[in-house]
Amino acid sequence: MQAAPTDPSTNPLLREWISHFGLPPFDQIGVEYFEPAFEVALAKHLAEIEAIANSPSTPSFENTLAAFDASGRLLNRVERLFHNLTASETSAELQALDLRISPRLAAHENAIYMHAALFARIDSLHSQRDALGLDGEQMRLLERVHLEFVRAGARLREEQRVRYGELVTELASLYTKFSQNLLAEEAAYTLVLKSDADLAGLPDFLLAAASSAAEQRGLGSNSRVVTLSPSLAEPFLSFSSRRDLRETLWRARVKRGASDDERDNRPIAARIIALRQEQAALHGHSSYAAYELADRMAAEASNVLVLLHKVWEPAKAHAETDRQALTDMAHTLAEPTPIAPWDWWYLAQKVRAQRFDLDDSLTKPYFSLENMIAAMFDCAGRLFGLQFLEQHAIALHHPDARLWEVRDSDGTVVGLFIGDNFARPTKRSGAWMSVFQSQSKLDGGTLPIVINNNNFAKAPTTLLSFDDVRTLFHEFGHGLHGLLSNVRYELLAGTRVLRDFVELPSQLFENWARESQVLQRHARHCETGEPIPAALIEKLKAARQFNQAWATLQYTAPALIDMAVHALPNGTPVDIAAFEVAQCSRLGVPYDVGLRHGLSHFQHVFSTASYAAGYYVYMWAEVLEADGFEAFIETGDPFDFATAQRLLHTIYSTGNTLEPAAAYRAFRGRDPVVEPFLRKIGLLKTA
C-alpha cells in the first residue's frame, strides 16, 4: 500500500481535530495514514525537545517544565488513537504496523528521557526547587518529571544508556507480540455446541449470547458457540451440565499462550523477565519488584506480601469449608468427586441457588446493559452533578460504540464518554479504560475524551450478571477519574497517578452498584419492566460473601506469583511453566481452585509494564475503597453531598497533583484501616 502524504491537507491524522472537542475523525482514518503521521509527529516532538534543551535562556519552570508538559501533543494524539484501535478494533494491517512502530516509539521515549541537556535543566530546577516560589501543582510536576527521568535512566553512564535503550526497545516489541499472540488464540477458539445435548442446563440468556457469538464469526443464526470471553465462558462453566464440555472449555482457557506453536508466550515472558532483571540492575535495585515498588504507595515488597498473606491462609481455610458444601452437592447430583476445577463454577452455582434461592437466571433479567448504563450515569449525576447526553450522528471506531457528551450541573461540556461494551474477535479480552484526549488547562485547555471497553456477550437484549454490573461500574469509575480531572498540566491529569492508587476511584464506584435505592430505580425486568423485588435484593446481599474464598484465592495466587517472579535477582533464568508449577506448590494453591491468570496469558504483567510486580494493586486499592466507602455509610446516606464533594475534590479531580497518601487523608481525615476490607470479603466477622 502506498504511503499517504505527510501533508496535513491530505492526511487527517495531521490536521487539527476541531470537530466535537477534539474527537478523532474516525470516518476519515485508514491504516495507511498512521506511518507517515508517526514520522511527522516523532520529528516534531524531537524538535520541541531540542528547543527546550538548547534554549539560551536560564532554566525556569515555564521554559522547561511547562514547555515539556506542552510538548509532543501531536504525537500523543496519534499514538493514543493508534493504541486504542489496536486494542478495540484491530486488523492484520494494524497489528503489522504495531510490531514495526512499538520499538520505534520506545526508542523515541528513551531518547527523550536520556537527553542529557534536557535533564540538566530539569535537574538544575529540582536542586533549587524550594527557592523557586512554585505553587503545589507546579512543585508536584517538577518532582514527578524529575523522578521519571531518573527512573528512566537519565543518570546512567553512557555505556549503560546505550544498553538501557536496547532493553526498552526490545521490551516494547515483546509486549506487542505477547498481546497479539493472546488475541489471536482467543479470536480463533470456539466451542461449537452441535446438538441439543450440548445445550443441557444452559439458560435462555446464554443461548442468545452463544447465537450472537456464532453470527459474529459468520457461522449463521442457527449456530451456537462459546468463546473464551469471560462473559460467555464463565456462565457456561456455571450452568452447563455437560461436564466434558466444561472440562474442554476450562482447559482451553488455561492453555492460552502455552501451546507449542508460533503463539507460545512462555519464551516471550521468560525473555521479558530477563530484560526486566537487567533493567532493575542498571538502576541499582536488587530486583525488578524493588525497582517498581520504589514509586508505589506500597514502597517495598514486604508491605505487599504482608497484605496478600493476611488473606491467603484464611481464604484457603474458608475454601475448605466451601469445598465440602460443593462436594456434598456433587454427591447429590451424582457428579464425580473429588471435584475438579471445571466443576467449581457449576457446583457453586448449584449451592448458591439452594442456599440463597438465587442464581443468574433469576437475576440477569433485571440487569439489562441499557438499564445499568442508566444506573451508573444516575449515580455520577447524584454524586458529582454530571449529565450524559448521547450523540448519535457522529462516526466512531466501531458501530457498537456509543458516544455521550458529559456536562456539569450548569450544562457546560466537561468531556466526552465513549462506551464500547461488546466482545468481538478484533478486540482484546478484559475490560479497561483509556483516553483519546487527556484533560489540561494550557493553551486554551483540552477536554478529556474517555473510552470504556468491556467484553460483554452481545445479544438482542444484553443481560448482565451482577459481576458484569460491577465490572461496568468499575471501568466507569476509571472513566470518571479521567472525566472529572481538573488540573493545569496534562502530565498530572486524570489516571496518571501511582499504580496502587489508580484502582481506588474505580473500585470505590463499584459500591454504588450494590445500593438498594439504585437497584430499585434501575434494575427492571427486561420483559415486564417491573422493578427488582426487594426480596431479591436482600438475597443478593445475603449471597455477597458466598464463594468469596475461591475468588480471593484465584486473585491472590497470581498476585503472589507476579511478585515472586519479579523478585528474582538479575541473571536468574526462568522456565515460565516450571516456575508457575513450583510457586503453586509452594503456596499450596488448591488444584480445584486454580489461578485466575496463568503466566502464559497474564496480560496485566506481560503485555505492558504497567502492572508488572503490581497485580497486587487491586487488593491494595480495595483496602482503601472499603475504608473510604464507610465515610458515606457513617453519614447514613450513600449519596451524602458533603462527602461526595470531598471525594470529588481530593480524589476524582486532582489527578497526580497530590501525593496519594495525603490525598486519601484529605478525603478520609485519617489513614486507611484494613478491617472494613476484611469484613467485606468475609475474613473478619462483625461482633
pLDDT at 4: 54
pLDDT at 687: 47
Low pLDDT (below 70) residues in the chain: 1-4, 685-687
Residue in this structure with the C-alpha cell 478484533, named with its chain if needed: 426
d(CA 470, CA 506) in angstroms, rounded, equals: 10
The burial of 302, by beta-carbon neighbours within 10 Å (0-12 exposed, 13-18 middle, 19 or more buried), is given as: exposed
How many other C-beta atoms lie within 10 A of the C-beta of residue 136? 9
Q: Are strands 432-437 and 387-391 parallel, antiparallel or unpaired?
A: unpaired
* Residue 549 near residue 682, CB atoms below 8 Å: yes
Strand stretches in 73-165, DSSP E: none
Report in angstroms the alpha-carbon separations of 305 from 109, 556, 616.
32, 10, 9
Tell me, what amino acid is at 53?
A
Q: What is the pLDDT of residues 278-308, one digit of tens each?
A: 999 999 999 999 999 999 999 999 999 999 9
How many other C-beta atoms lie within 10 A of the C-beta of residue 48? 19
d(CA 487, CA 506) in angstroms, rounded, equals: 19
Tell me, what amino acid is at 441?
K
d(CA 163, CA 166) in angstroms, rounded, equals: 5
* Residue 439 near residue 490, CB atoms below 8 Å: yes
Report in angstroms the alpha-carbon separations of 142 from 51, 69, 288, 354, 650.
19, 10, 25, 59, 20
Percentage of the chain lying above the pLDDT 70 cut: 99
pLDDT at 80: 98
How many other C-beta atoms lie within 10 A of the C-beta of residue 533? 13
Q: Give residue 497's region: left, alpha or beta (phi > 0; psi -120 to 50).
A: beta
Selection from 616, 622, 595, 615 nearest residue 679 by Cα: 622
CA angle 41, 42, 48 (to 5 degrees): 90
Q: In the numeric block, which cell numbers belong to residue 570? A: 538479575
d(CA 499, CA 126) in angstroms, rounded, equals: 24
Concerning whether 625 is annotated as a catalytic residue, the answer is no
Kindly state the DSSP code that residue 451 receives in the 8-state scheme.
E
pLDDT at 686: 56
**Residues in Cβ contact with 470 at an 8 Å cutoff, skipping those fewer than 6 apart:** 510, 513
At 417 the three-state DSSP class reads strand
Domains and CATH numbers, the chain: 19-155 (1.20.1050.40), 189-254 (no CATH), 266-358+548-615 (1.10.1370.10), 365-542+618-680 (1.10.1370.40)
pLDDT at 443: 83
Instruction: Out of 335, 475, 510, 622, pick the active-site residue.
Output: 475
How many other C-beta atoms lie within 10 A of the C-beta of residue 657? 23
DSSP code string of 350-406 = HHHHHHHS--HHHHGGG-BHHHHHHHHHHHHHHHH--EEEEE-SS--SSTT-EEEEE
Give, rounded to a whole angstrom, the gap between the first and last alpha carbons of the chain.
Answer: 70
* Residue 456 near residue 369, CB atoms below 8 Å: yes
